[in-house]
Chain A
């Protein structure tokens, strides 16, 4: 199966790969997937004044999973929490030209974004949000 140029580029030159320090402020972490399914994504956001100022990822998975999460971190940076909620897996599919068998990678990336946002909101002490 041939990968699109964009997938290959993200795979060879992953953007924002890594993790934030444990004691950093304003971090939200989302971890989705399972090792037995062959992919696990960890996506982190760093939020200041309701804006995502930085994002990082680590992914265990195929090239498309790595590319999807790398792309997600690129898109997240500079967005508000509200805007970040709007990122859809179909946007990722389109941008990376993912074939049908790889759509689950984009779904996983969207789940990771949602999980990271939820984690941030929970941690940021917003009691009403914490209820979720």
Chain B
């Protein structure tokens, strides 16, 4: 086993070596511009791009013409929300989204609101982080033009009832955008069955290269149109100008193909591994709390709060394991994770949270090592924690008058 261990697969994933192999010919040898229509260099590039488009579309049950390449999911989210609003603003300017979306959606919505271009409803989530489809239905007005709800949350892994939301959107004739960045490649995604009109996703979360993503844009029933957010050569059906990064796209395609081929096996393996990690930690450590949905969550996701210890110190004590925390000790505001807060997790438990993100290349040995380390460090830091000491003495921490600073 090699250290450090990478257990932060929601932030990014290592590239699969098979993806790199597929990409390599497209840097030096087949370097053409896929938009060059008049020579063999361009044709070779175009062929590779179209092949990748098919691989990507197949994974989500779309038509290859419905894939618009972008630089990543953040750009896809921006293009979807801003592009739709600009196209359909005569019909209305009301957008419905949820409070646990990625900031690429939330901050896009907020910026449109701040400019007076849109009104936005931010739906609450339940204690597991799920959006209630009834809330979506009730939020719809005659001015609503877009519903944007994520497939799976990046912090807690909770999977939303996207299919039901898609049905509601369809029935009301409202476009449905889904940020599926964490879900595509990990769980089955079918834009037809789920009633999705626009969908953001990216290669580097599924063992592909960084720097390329896609926006699925439905071509029929309905035909979705949007205003490009960048002017230029009119690539990608006029929705996103810019020379296509052919090697990255080839890698994206290969990554999708591998995910499709291995999804059932990989999902079962990661779920079992995750469950073992969860059980071993939570059985051994009292007052550890699962954040997110107990079952309806991404296979590789585990988010736990360890009462009485602070997240950043936990990470510091496990330097050889790459993890992430909902603590915000370094942020200027001292505000911990807005996602955990939206579930109703107390601020102090939000400060105490750790996200484990398991992926394709993690091994059982790494999980064993992690279990041992987590138990060690939580025990050590609780020994050091005045809150744990007080709780053990029977002090109700909520009754203490703290001097907030």
A interface with B by C-beta (< 8 Å): 1, 3, 8, 11, 14, 17, 19, 31-42, 58-63, 65-66, 101-102, 104, 107-108, 111
20 contacts between A and B (CB under 8 A): A11-B317, A14-B384, A32-B405, A35-B347, A36-B347, A36-B402, A38-B310, A38-B329, A40-B385, A42-B389, A58-B384, A59-B384, A60-B308, A60-B384, A61-B310, A63-B312, A63-B316, A65-B313, A66-B313, A102-B330
Q: Is the interface of B mostly helix, strand, loop or mixed?
A: loop
B190 at the interface (CB under 8 A from A): no
B367 at the interface (CB under 8 A from A): no
A47 to chain B, nearest CB (A): 20
- Chain B 157-188 per-residue mask, 1 if CB under 8 angstroms from chain A, else 0: 00000000000000000000000000000000
B403 at the interface (CB under 8 A from A): yes
Decide if B389 touches A58 in the complex (CB within 8 Å). Answer: yes
Decide if B389 touches A34 in the complex (CB within 8 Å). Answer: no
Residues in B310-351 with C-beta less than 8 Å from chain A:
310, 312-313, 316-317, 327-332, 334, 336, 346-348, 351
Q: Is the interface of A mostly helix, strand, loop or mixed?
A: mixed
CB within 8 Å: A-B pair count:
95
Residues of the B chain whose Cβ atoms lie less than 8 Å from the Cβ of A11:
313, 316-317
Range of interface residues on B (Cβ < 8 Å): 20 to 34
Q: Which of A42, A63, A102, A111 contacts B313 (CB 8 A)?
A: A63
- Chain B 347-390 per-residue mask, 1 if CB under 8 angstroms from chain A, else 0: 11001000000000000000000000000000000011111110
CA of A41 to CA of B390, assembled, Å: 12
- Of all chain B residues, the one with the shortest Cβ separation from A19 is B389
Residues of the B chain whose Cβ atoms lie less than 8 Å from the Cβ of A19:
389
Residues of the B chain whose Cβ atoms lie less than 8 Å from the Cβ of A60:
308-310, 384-388
